[in-house]
Protein backbone atom coordinates (compact mmCIF):
# COMPACT_ATOMS: atom_id res chain seq x y z
CA UNK A 1 0.00 0.00 0.00
CA UNK A 2 2.83 2.20 0.85
CA UNK A 3 4.21 1.72 -2.62
CA UNK A 4 0.93 2.72 -4.13
CA UNK A 5 0.81 5.91 -2.06
CA UNK A 6 4.42 6.74 -2.92
CA UNK A 7 3.68 6.04 -6.59
CA UNK A 8 0.58 8.25 -6.45
CA UNK A 9 2.52 11.08 -4.80
CA UNK A 10 5.36 10.71 -7.29
CA UNK A 11 2.88 10.73 -10.16
CA UNK A 12 1.24 13.88 -8.75
CA UNK A 13 4.64 15.61 -8.53
CA UNK A 14 5.56 14.55 -12.03
CA UNK A 15 2.21 15.65 -13.45
CA UNK A 16 2.47 18.95 -11.53
CA UNK A 17 6.00 19.55 -12.74
CA UNK A 18 5.01 18.55 -16.28
CA UNK A 19 2.06 20.90 -16.23
CA UNK A 20 4.34 23.69 -14.99
CA UNK A 21 6.71 23.02 -17.86
CA UNK A 22 3.79 23.04 -20.31
CA UNK A 23 2.44 26.26 -18.79
CA UNK A 24 5.90 27.83 -18.98
CA UNK A 25 6.20 26.83 -22.65
CA UNK A 26 2.73 28.22 -23.41
CA UNK A 27 3.58 31.47 -21.65
CA UNK A 28 6.87 31.77 -23.53
CA UNK A 29 5.06 31.16 -26.82
CA UNK A 30 2.43 33.79 -25.94
CA UNK A 31 5.12 36.31 -24.92
CA UNK A 32 6.99 35.57 -28.15
CA UNK A 33 3.83 36.20 -30.16
CA UNK A 34 3.22 39.48 -28.30
CA UNK A 35 6.82 40.52 -28.89
CA UNK A 36 6.50 39.75 -32.61
CA UNK A 37 3.23 41.72 -32.74
CA UNK A 38 4.88 44.71 -31.05
CA UNK A 39 7.78 44.58 -33.50
CA UNK A 40 5.33 44.51 -36.40
CA UNK A 41 3.41 47.45 -34.89
CA UNK A 42 6.60 49.46 -34.41
CA UNK A 43 7.66 48.68 -37.95
CA UNK A 44 4.23 49.64 -39.34
CA UNK A 45 3.98 52.86 -37.27
CA UNK A 46 6.16 55.03 -39.57
CA UNK A 47 4.26 53.83 -42.62
CA UNK A 48 0.95 54.60 -40.91
CA UNK A 49 2.22 58.01 -39.80
CA UNK A 50 3.38 58.76 -43.34
CA UNK A 51 -0.02 57.74 -44.71
CA UNK A 52 -1.76 59.95 -42.11
CA UNK A 53 0.57 62.85 -42.95
CA UNK A 54 -0.09 62.44 -46.67
CA UNK A 55 -3.84 62.37 -46.00
CA UNK A 56 -3.60 65.55 -43.91
CA UNK A 57 -1.59 67.25 -46.67
CA UNK A 58 -4.21 66.27 -49.23
CA UNK A 59 -7.00 67.57 -46.97
CA UNK A 60 -5.19 70.88 -46.42
CA UNK A 61 -4.54 71.26 -50.14
CA UNK A 62 -8.22 70.63 -50.89
CA UNK A 63 -9.25 73.20 -48.25
CA UNK A 64 -6.77 75.71 -49.67
CA UNK A 65 -8.11 75.22 -53.19
CA UNK A 66 -11.67 75.59 -51.90
CA UNK A 67 -10.78 78.84 -50.12
CA UNK A 68 -9.00 80.12 -53.25
CA UNK A 69 -12.06 79.45 -55.37
CA UNK A 70 -14.34 81.12 -52.79
CA UNK A 71 -12.05 84.17 -52.61
CA UNK A 72 -11.88 84.38 -56.39
CA UNK A 73 -15.68 84.21 -56.66
CA UNK A 74 -16.01 86.89 -53.98
CA UNK A 75 -13.47 89.09 -55.79
CA UNK A 76 -15.31 88.64 -59.09
CA UNK A 77 -18.61 89.49 -57.40
CA UNK A 78 -17.13 92.65 -55.89
CA UNK A 79 -15.63 93.57 -59.25
CA UNK A 80 -19.01 93.15 -60.96
CA UNK A 81 -20.69 95.21 -58.23
CA UNK A 82 -18.08 97.94 -58.63
CA UNK A 83 -18.54 97.96 -62.42
CA UNK A 84 -22.33 98.16 -62.03
CA UNK A 85 -21.98 101.04 -59.57
CA UNK A 86 -19.57 102.79 -61.94
CA UNK A 87 -22.02 102.42 -64.83
CA UNK A 88 -24.84 103.69 -62.63
CA UNK A 89 -22.79 106.72 -61.58
CA UNK A 90 -21.81 107.39 -65.19
CA UNK A 91 -25.48 107.31 -66.24
CA UNK A 92 -26.36 109.64 -63.34
CA UNK A 93 -23.52 111.96 -64.37
CA UNK A 94 -24.78 112.03 -67.95
CA UNK A 95 -28.30 112.74 -66.69
CA UNK A 96 -27.09 115.60 -64.50
CA UNK A 97 -24.91 116.88 -67.32
CA UNK A 98 -27.98 116.90 -69.59
CA UNK A 99 -29.91 118.79 -66.92
CA UNK A 100 -26.99 121.21 -66.60
CA UNK A 101 -27.07 121.84 -70.34
CA UNK A 102 -30.81 122.50 -70.12
CA UNK A 103 -30.21 124.93 -67.25
CA UNK A 104 -27.50 126.69 -69.27
CA UNK A 105 -29.86 127.08 -72.22
CA UNK A 106 -32.57 128.38 -69.89
CA UNK A 107 -30.11 130.84 -68.31
CA UNK A 108 -29.05 132.08 -71.74
CA UNK A 109 -32.70 132.57 -72.69
CA UNK A 110 -33.33 134.45 -69.46
CA UNK A 111 -30.23 136.56 -70.03
CA UNK A 112 -31.38 137.39 -73.55
CA UNK A 113 -34.85 138.24 -72.23
CA UNK A 114 -33.29 140.42 -69.53
CA UNK A 115 -31.16 142.24 -72.08
CA UNK A 116 -34.19 142.70 -74.27
CA UNK A 117 -36.17 144.07 -71.33
CA UNK A 118 -33.27 146.35 -70.48
CA UNK A 119 -33.11 147.73 -73.98
CA UNK A 120 -36.93 148.20 -74.00
CA UNK A 121 -36.73 149.99 -70.66
CA UNK A 122 -33.90 152.15 -71.95
CA UNK A 123 -35.90 152.98 -75.07
CA UNK A 124 -38.98 153.75 -72.94
CA UNK A 125 -36.89 155.97 -70.68
CA UNK A 126 -35.50 157.80 -73.68
CA UNK A 127 -39.03 158.31 -75.04
CA UNK A 128 -40.17 159.69 -71.71
CA UNK A 129 -37.18 161.97 -71.63
CA UNK A 130 -37.97 163.17 -75.12
CA UNK A 131 -41.64 163.69 -74.23
CA UNK A 132 -40.80 165.52 -71.01
CA UNK A 133 -38.18 167.53 -72.83
CA UNK A 134 -40.68 168.44 -75.56
CA UNK A 135 -43.24 169.53 -73.01
CA UNK A 136 -40.78 171.69 -71.23
CA UNK A 137 -39.88 173.69 -74.32
pLDDT at 19: 65
Domain count, the chain: 1
What range does the domain containing 28 cover?
Answer: 1-136
What is d(CA 4, CA 87) in angstroms, rounded to the nearest whole number? Answer: 119
Per-residue pLDDT of the chain (137 residues; tens, 9 = 90+): 788 887 777 776 666 666 666 667 778 888 889 999 998 888 888 888 888 999 999 999 999 999 999 999 999 999 999 999 999 999 888 887 777 777 788 888 888 877 887 777 777 777 777 777 777 65
Distances from the Cα of 93 to the Cα of 86, 89, 98, 114, angstroms: 10, 6, 8, 31
pTM greater than 0.75 (yes/no): no
Amino acid sequence: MRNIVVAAIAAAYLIGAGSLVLADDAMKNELGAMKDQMKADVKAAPEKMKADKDQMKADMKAKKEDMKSKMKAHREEAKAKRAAMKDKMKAKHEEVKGQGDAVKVQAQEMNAAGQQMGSHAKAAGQEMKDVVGAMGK
